[in-house]
Amino acid sequence: MNKPVLPMSSLSVRLPRADRSLETYRLAASRVFPAKLEGTLNRVAFSAAHVVADPLADGDPWLTSAIDWDKTIAFREYVWGLGLGVAEAMDTAQRGMGLDWPTSLELIQRSVRAAKANGNALVFSGAGTDHLPPENAKSLDDVIRAYEEQIAAVEKAGGRIILMASRALAKLGRSADDYAKVYNRVLSQVREPVIIHWLGDMFDPALANYWGTSSLDTAMDTAVVIINANAAKVDGVKVSLLDKQREIDMRRRLDKNVRMYTGDDFNYAELIAGDDKGFSHALLGIFDAIAPAASYALSRLAAGDEKGFHDVLGPTVPLSRHIFKAPTRFYKTGIVFMAYLNGHQDHFTMVGGQESARSTLHLAELFRLADQAGLLANPELATQRMKIVMSARGIDA
Protein backbone atom coordinates (compact mmCIF):
# COMPACT_ATOMS: atom_id res chain seq x y z
CA MET A 1 0.00 0.00 0.00
CA ASN A 2 1.67 3.18 -1.17
CA LYS A 3 1.00 5.87 1.41
CA PRO A 4 2.93 8.91 2.54
CA VAL A 5 4.74 8.66 5.85
CA LEU A 6 2.44 10.13 8.49
CA PRO A 7 3.36 11.57 11.89
CA MET A 8 2.98 9.63 15.10
CA SER A 9 -0.47 9.47 16.64
CA SER A 10 -1.33 11.60 19.65
CA LEU A 11 -2.65 8.50 21.41
CA SER A 12 -0.64 6.89 24.20
CA VAL A 13 -0.98 4.27 26.93
CA ARG A 14 1.20 3.19 29.84
CA LEU A 15 2.65 -0.27 29.29
CA PRO A 16 4.95 -2.47 31.38
CA ARG A 17 8.45 -3.48 30.36
CA ALA A 18 10.26 -6.71 31.22
CA ASP A 19 12.35 -4.92 33.87
CA ARG A 20 9.10 -4.03 35.72
CA SER A 21 9.32 -0.36 34.72
CA LEU A 22 6.51 1.42 32.89
CA GLU A 23 6.68 3.36 29.63
CA THR A 24 4.31 5.78 28.01
CA TYR A 25 3.86 4.09 24.66
CA ARG A 26 2.84 6.45 21.84
CA LEU A 27 0.97 4.84 18.99
CA ALA A 28 2.09 5.04 15.38
CA ALA A 29 -0.12 6.65 12.76
CA SER A 30 -2.92 4.27 11.81
CA ARG A 31 -2.95 2.30 8.58
CA VAL A 32 -6.28 1.68 6.87
CA PHE A 33 -7.10 -1.52 4.97
CA PRO A 34 -10.22 -2.09 2.85
CA ALA A 35 -13.24 -3.33 4.81
CA LYS A 36 -14.16 -5.71 1.95
CA LEU A 37 -12.16 -7.71 -0.57
CA GLU A 38 -10.90 -5.58 -3.43
CA GLY A 39 -10.10 -7.52 -6.57
CA THR A 40 -9.65 -11.28 -6.62
CA LEU A 41 -7.46 -13.87 -4.93
CA ASN A 42 -5.18 -16.48 -6.49
CA ARG A 43 -4.70 -18.39 -3.23
CA VAL A 44 -7.34 -20.25 -1.23
CA ALA A 45 -7.15 -18.65 2.20
CA PHE A 46 -8.98 -19.74 5.34
CA SER A 47 -9.11 -17.99 8.67
CA ALA A 48 -9.39 -20.47 11.51
CA ALA A 49 -11.95 -18.45 13.45
CA HIS A 50 -12.35 -17.96 17.20
CA VAL A 51 -15.58 -18.15 19.18
CA VAL A 52 -16.97 -15.27 21.21
CA ALA A 53 -17.78 -16.31 24.76
CA ASP A 54 -20.94 -15.16 26.51
CA PRO A 55 -19.63 -13.31 29.58
CA LEU A 56 -23.07 -13.08 31.21
CA ALA A 57 -23.91 -16.78 31.08
CA ASP A 58 -24.70 -18.36 34.44
CA GLY A 59 -22.20 -21.17 34.59
CA ASP A 60 -18.64 -22.12 35.42
CA PRO A 61 -16.47 -21.22 32.40
CA TRP A 62 -14.00 -23.99 33.25
CA LEU A 63 -16.76 -26.56 32.88
CA THR A 64 -19.27 -25.25 30.36
CA SER A 65 -19.01 -23.67 26.91
CA ALA A 66 -21.13 -20.52 26.85
CA ILE A 67 -21.10 -18.91 23.40
CA ASP A 68 -22.44 -15.57 22.17
CA TRP A 69 -23.81 -16.97 18.94
CA ASP A 70 -24.72 -13.64 17.35
CA LYS A 71 -21.24 -12.16 17.80
CA THR A 72 -19.60 -15.44 16.79
CA ILE A 73 -21.49 -15.65 13.50
CA ALA A 74 -21.09 -11.91 12.86
CA PHE A 75 -17.33 -12.38 12.99
CA ARG A 76 -17.55 -15.09 10.34
CA GLU A 77 -19.62 -12.83 8.10
CA TYR A 78 -16.90 -10.20 8.46
CA VAL A 79 -14.25 -12.75 7.42
CA TRP A 80 -16.28 -13.86 4.40
CA GLY A 81 -16.72 -10.23 3.34
CA LEU A 82 -12.94 -9.98 3.13
CA GLY A 83 -12.84 -12.88 0.67
CA LEU A 84 -11.46 -15.40 3.15
CA GLY A 85 -12.87 -18.79 3.97
CA VAL A 86 -13.68 -19.91 7.50
CA ALA A 87 -12.07 -23.00 8.99
CA GLU A 88 -14.71 -23.81 11.57
CA ALA A 89 -14.51 -25.49 14.97
CA MET A 90 -10.73 -25.88 14.86
CA ASP A 91 -8.16 -25.36 17.61
CA THR A 92 -8.49 -21.58 17.17
CA ALA A 93 -12.10 -21.99 18.32
CA GLN A 94 -10.65 -23.78 21.39
CA ARG A 95 -11.78 -27.14 20.06
CA GLY A 96 -10.88 -29.72 22.68
CA MET A 97 -9.50 -26.88 24.81
CA GLY A 98 -12.72 -25.48 26.22
CA LEU A 99 -15.11 -26.22 23.34
CA ASP A 100 -16.65 -29.70 23.51
CA TRP A 101 -18.05 -31.71 20.61
CA PRO A 102 -21.78 -30.96 21.16
CA THR A 103 -21.07 -27.21 21.21
CA SER A 104 -18.69 -27.59 18.26
CA LEU A 105 -21.43 -29.32 16.26
CA GLU A 106 -23.87 -26.51 17.02
CA LEU A 107 -21.21 -24.02 15.92
CA ILE A 108 -20.69 -25.95 12.68
CA GLN A 109 -24.43 -26.13 11.98
CA ARG A 110 -24.86 -22.41 12.58
CA SER A 111 -21.81 -21.51 10.52
CA VAL A 112 -22.81 -23.67 7.55
CA ARG A 113 -26.28 -22.09 7.55
CA ALA A 114 -24.75 -18.62 7.69
CA ALA A 115 -22.37 -19.46 4.85
CA LYS A 116 -25.24 -20.56 2.64
CA ALA A 117 -27.10 -17.33 3.46
CA ASN A 118 -23.95 -15.40 2.46
CA GLY A 119 -23.87 -16.65 -1.12
CA ASN A 120 -22.43 -20.08 -0.29
CA ALA A 121 -19.37 -18.56 1.35
CA LEU A 122 -16.42 -20.87 1.88
CA VAL A 123 -16.45 -22.88 5.11
CA PHE A 124 -14.82 -26.19 6.01
CA SER A 125 -15.40 -27.67 9.47
CA GLY A 126 -13.38 -29.81 11.81
CA ALA A 127 -14.33 -33.46 12.26
CA GLY A 128 -12.27 -35.43 14.74
CA THR A 129 -12.57 -37.83 17.64
CA ASP A 130 -12.66 -35.44 20.61
CA HIS A 131 -15.93 -36.88 21.98
CA LEU A 132 -13.93 -40.09 22.57
CA PRO A 133 -11.62 -39.56 25.57
CA PRO A 134 -8.24 -41.11 24.73
CA GLU A 135 -8.40 -43.25 27.87
CA ASN A 136 -11.66 -44.79 26.59
CA ALA A 137 -10.23 -45.66 23.18
CA LYS A 138 -9.30 -49.33 23.32
CA SER A 139 -8.77 -50.11 19.64
CA LEU A 140 -8.24 -48.50 16.25
CA ASP A 141 -11.81 -49.46 15.41
CA ASP A 142 -12.95 -47.19 18.25
CA VAL A 143 -11.05 -44.34 16.62
CA ILE A 144 -12.54 -45.10 13.21
CA ARG A 145 -16.08 -45.16 14.63
CA ALA A 146 -15.48 -41.84 16.37
CA TYR A 147 -14.30 -40.23 13.13
CA GLU A 148 -17.27 -41.71 11.27
CA GLU A 149 -19.72 -40.28 13.79
CA GLN A 150 -18.40 -36.72 13.51
CA ILE A 151 -18.01 -36.86 9.74
CA ALA A 152 -21.62 -38.01 9.39
CA ALA A 153 -22.80 -35.15 11.60
CA VAL A 154 -20.89 -32.50 9.64
CA GLU A 155 -22.02 -33.90 6.30
CA LYS A 156 -25.63 -34.02 7.54
CA ALA A 157 -25.30 -30.29 8.30
CA GLY A 158 -24.19 -29.73 4.69
CA GLY A 159 -20.58 -29.04 5.64
CA ARG A 160 -17.20 -29.83 4.14
CA ILE A 161 -14.65 -31.66 6.28
CA ILE A 162 -11.32 -30.78 7.82
CA LEU A 163 -10.10 -34.11 9.17
CA MET A 164 -8.53 -33.18 12.48
CA ALA A 165 -5.69 -35.01 14.15
CA SER A 166 -6.91 -37.43 16.81
CA ARG A 167 -5.63 -37.60 20.38
CA ALA A 168 -7.05 -41.12 20.63
CA LEU A 169 -5.14 -42.19 17.53
CA ALA A 170 -1.97 -40.60 18.88
CA LYS A 171 -2.40 -42.77 21.99
CA LEU A 172 -3.09 -46.03 20.16
CA GLY A 173 -1.26 -45.72 16.84
CA ARG A 174 2.14 -47.37 16.98
CA SER A 175 3.09 -47.70 13.33
CA ALA A 176 2.52 -46.41 9.82
CA ASP A 177 0.20 -49.36 9.25
CA ASP A 178 -2.01 -48.27 12.15
CA TYR A 179 -2.40 -44.80 10.70
CA ALA A 180 -2.95 -46.16 7.21
CA LYS A 181 -5.74 -48.40 8.51
CA VAL A 182 -7.57 -45.49 10.12
CA TYR A 183 -7.10 -42.89 7.38
CA ASN A 184 -7.74 -45.31 4.49
CA ARG A 185 -11.00 -46.44 6.09
CA VAL A 186 -12.21 -42.97 6.98
CA LEU A 187 -11.25 -41.34 3.68
CA SER A 188 -12.94 -44.08 1.68
CA GLN A 189 -16.28 -42.96 3.11
CA VAL A 190 -16.23 -39.16 2.87
CA ARG A 191 -18.71 -37.52 0.52
CA GLU A 192 -16.36 -34.81 -0.77
CA PRO A 193 -12.57 -34.33 -0.62
CA VAL A 194 -11.34 -33.23 2.79
CA ILE A 195 -8.51 -31.16 4.20
CA ILE A 196 -6.22 -33.23 6.40
CA HIS A 197 -4.82 -31.40 9.40
CA TRP A 198 -1.42 -32.36 10.79
CA LEU A 199 -1.20 -30.43 14.05
CA GLY A 200 2.16 -30.48 15.79
CA ASP A 201 2.55 -31.15 19.49
CA MET A 202 3.57 -27.53 20.10
CA PHE A 203 -0.10 -26.76 19.48
CA ASP A 204 -1.39 -29.81 21.39
CA PRO A 205 1.01 -31.89 23.51
CA ALA A 206 -1.40 -34.84 23.34
CA LEU A 207 -0.54 -35.20 19.64
CA ALA A 208 3.12 -36.09 20.23
CA ASN A 209 4.42 -38.91 18.00
CA TYR A 210 1.65 -38.47 15.46
CA TRP A 211 1.87 -40.80 12.46
CA GLY A 212 3.32 -43.40 14.84
CA THR A 213 6.83 -42.04 15.39
CA SER A 214 8.84 -39.36 17.17
CA SER A 215 10.85 -38.77 13.97
CA LEU A 216 9.36 -35.96 11.89
CA ASP A 217 11.16 -37.28 8.81
CA THR A 218 9.53 -40.69 9.20
CA ALA A 219 6.19 -39.10 10.09
CA MET A 220 6.27 -37.09 6.89
CA ASP A 221 7.06 -40.19 4.84
CA THR A 222 4.04 -41.92 6.35
CA ALA A 223 1.73 -38.94 5.86
CA VAL A 224 2.74 -38.41 2.24
CA VAL A 225 2.21 -42.07 1.36
CA ILE A 226 -1.25 -42.13 2.95
CA ILE A 227 -2.33 -38.81 1.44
CA ASN A 228 -1.10 -39.58 -2.08
CA ALA A 229 -2.73 -43.01 -1.97
CA ASN A 230 -6.03 -41.27 -1.22
CA ALA A 231 -5.50 -38.17 -3.38
CA ALA A 232 -8.97 -38.34 -4.91
CA LYS A 233 -10.44 -37.90 -1.42
CA VAL A 234 -8.07 -35.13 -0.29
CA ASP A 235 -8.56 -31.48 -1.19
CA GLY A 236 -5.41 -30.50 0.65
CA VAL A 237 -3.21 -30.80 3.71
CA LYS A 238 -2.81 -28.23 6.46
CA VAL A 239 0.57 -28.55 8.16
CA SER A 240 1.07 -26.84 11.52
CA LEU A 241 4.64 -27.67 12.49
CA LEU A 242 6.16 -24.14 12.50
CA ASP A 243 8.93 -25.48 10.25
CA LYS A 244 8.93 -23.86 6.84
CA GLN A 245 11.41 -26.21 5.21
CA ARG A 246 9.42 -29.30 6.16
CA GLU A 247 6.33 -27.70 4.67
CA ILE A 248 8.18 -26.88 1.44
CA ASP A 249 9.58 -30.40 1.26
CA MET A 250 6.14 -31.92 1.83
CA ARG A 251 4.31 -29.79 -0.73
CA ARG A 252 6.84 -30.83 -3.38
CA ARG A 253 6.06 -34.48 -2.63
CA LEU A 254 2.28 -34.25 -2.66
CA ASP A 255 0.14 -35.45 -5.55
CA LYS A 256 -0.29 -32.57 -8.00
CA ASN A 257 -4.03 -32.40 -7.22
CA VAL A 258 -3.52 -32.02 -3.46
CA ARG A 259 -3.11 -28.48 -2.14
CA MET A 260 -0.74 -27.49 0.63
CA TYR A 261 -2.38 -25.16 3.15
CA THR A 262 0.20 -23.48 5.29
CA GLY A 263 -0.49 -23.58 9.00
CA ASP A 264 2.89 -22.01 9.76
CA ASP A 265 2.07 -18.92 11.79
CA PHE A 266 5.79 -18.03 11.89
CA ASN A 267 6.60 -18.05 8.15
CA TYR A 268 3.30 -17.75 6.28
CA ALA A 269 4.19 -14.72 4.13
CA GLU A 270 7.07 -16.39 2.30
CA LEU A 271 5.28 -19.75 2.10
CA ILE A 272 2.19 -18.20 0.51
CA ALA A 273 4.32 -16.20 -1.94
CA GLY A 274 6.11 -19.43 -2.86
CA ASP A 275 8.97 -20.03 -5.25
CA ASP A 276 9.53 -21.29 -8.77
CA LYS A 277 8.53 -24.82 -7.69
CA GLY A 278 5.25 -23.97 -6.02
CA PHE A 279 3.44 -22.18 -3.21
CA SER A 280 1.17 -22.79 -0.26
CA HIS A 281 -2.44 -21.80 0.16
CA ALA A 282 -3.39 -20.75 3.68
CA LEU A 283 -5.35 -22.05 6.66
CA LEU A 284 -4.15 -19.93 9.55
CA GLY A 285 -5.21 -18.91 13.01
CA ILE A 286 -3.38 -15.62 12.64
CA PHE A 287 -5.69 -14.70 9.75
CA ASP A 288 -8.41 -14.30 12.39
CA ALA A 289 -6.42 -11.46 13.97
CA ILE A 290 -5.12 -9.85 10.78
CA ALA A 291 -7.98 -10.55 8.36
CA PRO A 292 -8.15 -7.11 6.65
CA ALA A 293 -4.38 -6.99 6.11
CA ALA A 294 -4.35 -10.61 4.90
CA SER A 295 -7.17 -9.94 2.45
CA TYR A 296 -5.52 -6.84 1.02
CA ALA A 297 -2.09 -8.47 0.80
CA LEU A 298 -3.50 -11.51 -1.00
CA SER A 299 -5.35 -9.25 -3.44
CA ARG A 300 -2.06 -7.48 -4.20
CA LEU A 301 -0.36 -10.83 -4.83
CA ALA A 302 -3.14 -11.84 -7.22
CA ALA A 303 -2.69 -8.53 -9.05
CA GLY A 304 1.00 -9.31 -9.62
CA ASP A 305 2.20 -6.86 -6.97
CA GLU A 306 4.40 -9.15 -4.87
CA LYS A 307 6.18 -6.16 -3.31
CA GLY A 308 2.84 -4.78 -2.15
CA PHE A 309 1.96 -8.22 -0.74
CA HIS A 310 5.13 -8.31 1.37
CA ASP A 311 4.83 -4.64 2.36
CA VAL A 312 1.48 -5.41 3.97
CA LEU A 313 1.92 -8.97 5.23
CA GLY A 314 5.58 -8.79 6.28
CA PRO A 315 5.00 -6.43 9.25
CA THR A 316 2.34 -8.79 10.60
CA VAL A 317 4.79 -11.66 11.06
CA PRO A 318 6.46 -10.35 14.27
CA LEU A 319 3.00 -10.06 15.84
CA SER A 320 2.14 -13.60 14.79
CA ARG A 321 5.39 -15.01 16.13
CA HIS A 322 4.65 -13.30 19.42
CA ILE A 323 1.06 -14.55 19.65
CA PHE A 324 2.17 -18.09 18.79
CA LYS A 325 5.29 -18.17 20.97
CA ALA A 326 5.74 -21.10 23.33
CA PRO A 327 3.66 -22.44 24.95
CA THR A 328 2.05 -22.20 21.51
CA ARG A 329 -1.21 -23.79 22.62
CA PHE A 330 -2.08 -20.54 24.44
CA TYR A 331 -2.12 -18.54 21.21
CA LYS A 332 -5.93 -18.35 21.36
CA THR A 333 -5.61 -15.73 24.11
CA GLY A 334 -3.80 -13.36 21.77
CA ILE A 335 -6.28 -13.99 18.95
CA VAL A 336 -9.25 -13.12 21.14
CA PHE A 337 -7.43 -10.13 22.63
CA MET A 338 -6.99 -8.75 19.11
CA ALA A 339 -10.71 -9.25 18.47
CA TYR A 340 -11.46 -7.29 21.65
CA LEU A 341 -9.07 -4.46 20.75
CA ASN A 342 -10.58 -4.23 17.27
CA GLY A 343 -14.18 -4.11 18.43
CA HIS A 344 -15.40 -7.51 17.29
CA GLN A 345 -16.54 -8.23 20.84
CA ASP A 346 -17.26 -6.06 23.85
CA HIS A 347 -15.22 -7.96 26.41
CA PHE A 348 -12.02 -9.92 26.91
CA THR A 349 -13.60 -13.14 28.16
CA MET A 350 -12.86 -16.57 26.75
CA VAL A 351 -14.30 -20.05 26.85
CA GLY A 352 -12.56 -21.97 29.62
CA GLY A 353 -11.37 -18.75 31.24
CA GLN A 354 -8.33 -18.75 28.94
CA GLU A 355 -8.07 -14.96 28.95
CA SER A 356 -5.75 -15.66 31.91
CA ALA A 357 -3.38 -17.86 29.88
CA ARG A 358 -1.00 -15.04 28.88
CA SER A 359 0.82 -12.53 31.06
CA THR A 360 0.36 -8.77 31.26
CA LEU A 361 3.78 -8.37 29.62
CA HIS A 362 2.67 -10.60 26.76
CA LEU A 363 -0.45 -8.53 26.13
CA ALA A 364 1.54 -5.29 26.30
CA GLU A 365 3.98 -6.48 23.65
CA LEU A 366 1.09 -7.74 21.52
CA PHE A 367 -0.39 -4.23 21.59
CA ARG A 368 2.90 -2.66 20.52
CA LEU A 369 3.39 -5.11 17.64
CA ALA A 370 -0.21 -4.81 16.45
CA ASP A 371 0.11 -1.04 16.42
CA GLN A 372 3.43 -1.11 14.55
CA ALA A 373 1.91 -3.40 11.88
CA GLY A 374 -1.07 -1.07 11.41
CA LEU A 375 -3.51 -3.71 12.68
CA LEU A 376 -5.51 -1.62 15.16
CA ALA A 377 -8.59 -0.83 13.11
CA ASN A 378 -9.77 1.91 15.47
CA PRO A 379 -6.75 3.15 17.44
CA GLU A 380 -8.86 5.28 19.79
CA LEU A 381 -11.03 2.30 20.76
CA ALA A 382 -8.02 -0.02 21.02
CA THR A 383 -6.20 2.43 23.28
CA GLN A 384 -9.23 2.86 25.51
CA ARG A 385 -9.63 -0.90 25.84
CA MET A 386 -5.93 -1.43 26.46
CA LYS A 387 -6.10 1.06 29.31
CA ILE A 388 -9.03 -0.87 30.82
CA VAL A 389 -7.11 -4.15 30.67
CA MET A 390 -3.93 -2.59 32.09
CA SER A 391 -5.91 -0.96 34.90
CA ALA A 392 -7.46 -4.32 35.79
CA ARG A 393 -3.90 -5.66 36.08
CA GLY A 394 -2.71 -2.86 38.34
CA ILE A 395 -1.37 -0.31 35.86
CA ASP A 396 -3.06 3.09 35.97
CA ALA A 397 -3.71 4.87 32.70
DSSP secondary structure string, 318-332?
HHHHHHT-SSGGGHH
Nearest CA-CA partner of 320 in 293, 344, 347, 298: 293
* Chain centre to alpha carbon of residue 340: 17
Name the band, by pLDDT with cuts 50, 70 and 90, for residue 10: confident
- The conformation of residue 211, written as its DSSP 8-state character, comes to G
* Cα–Cα distance measured from residue 290 to residue 69, given in angstroms and rounded to the nearest whole number: 22
Question: Picking from 6-10, 43-47, 48-52, 148-152, which range would have the lowest pLDDT averaged per residue?
Answer: 6-10
* Cα–Cα distance measured from residue 117 to residue 66, given in angstroms and rounded to the nearest whole number: 24
Q: Note whether 76 and 111 are within 8 A (CB).
A: yes
- Could you read off the pLDDT of 152-169 as tens digits, one per residue? 999 999 999 999 999 999
pLDDT at position 7: 53
Question: Is the model's pTM score more than 0.75?
Answer: yes
Name the band, by pLDDT with cuts 50, 70 and 90, for residue 29: confident
Neighbours of 255 (CB within 10 A): 13
* Chain centre to alpha carbon of residue 104: 15
- Could you read off the pLDDT of 132-142 as tens digits, one per residue? 999 999 999 99
Is pLDDT of 396 > 90? Answer: no
pLDDT at position 83: 98
Name the band, by pLDDT with cuts 50, 70 and 90, for residue 1: very low
Nearest CA-CA partner of 54 in 40, 70, 30: 70
Furthest CA-CA distance within the chain: 63
- Could you read off the pLDDT of 282-304 as tens digits, one per residue? 999 999 999 999 999 999 999 99
- Could you read off the pLDDT of 245-261 as tens digits, one per residue? 999 999 999 999 999 99
Beta bridge partners of 194: 234
Burial of 225 (0-12, 13-18, 19+ CB in 10 A): middle
Name the band, by pLDDT with cuts 50, 70 and 90, for residue 397: low
Beta bridge partners of 14: 24
* Cα–Cα distance measured from residue 56 to residue 62, given in angstroms and rounded to the nearest whole number: 14
**What is the average pLDDT value for the chain, to the nearest integer?**
96
Q: Pick the more confident residue, 180 or 64.
A: 180
Region 27-41: what's the mean pLDDT?
93
Q: Note whether 156 and 122 are within 8 A (CB).
A: no
* Cα–Cα distance measured from residue 44 to residue 219, given in angstroms and rounded to the nearest whole number: 26
Query: Where are the strands (E) in the chain, listed by range?
Result: 12-16, 22-26, 45-48, 85-88, 123-127, 160-163, 194-199, 234-240, 259-262, 281-284
* Cα–Cα distance measured from residue 304 to residue 309, given in angstroms and rounded to the nearest whole number: 9
Structural domains of the chain, ranges and CATH numbers in brackets: 35-325 (3.20.20.70)
Name the band, by pLDDT with cuts 50, 70 and 90, for residue 59: confident
pLDDT at position 5: 47
Q: Note whether 379 and 344 are within 8 A (CB).
A: no
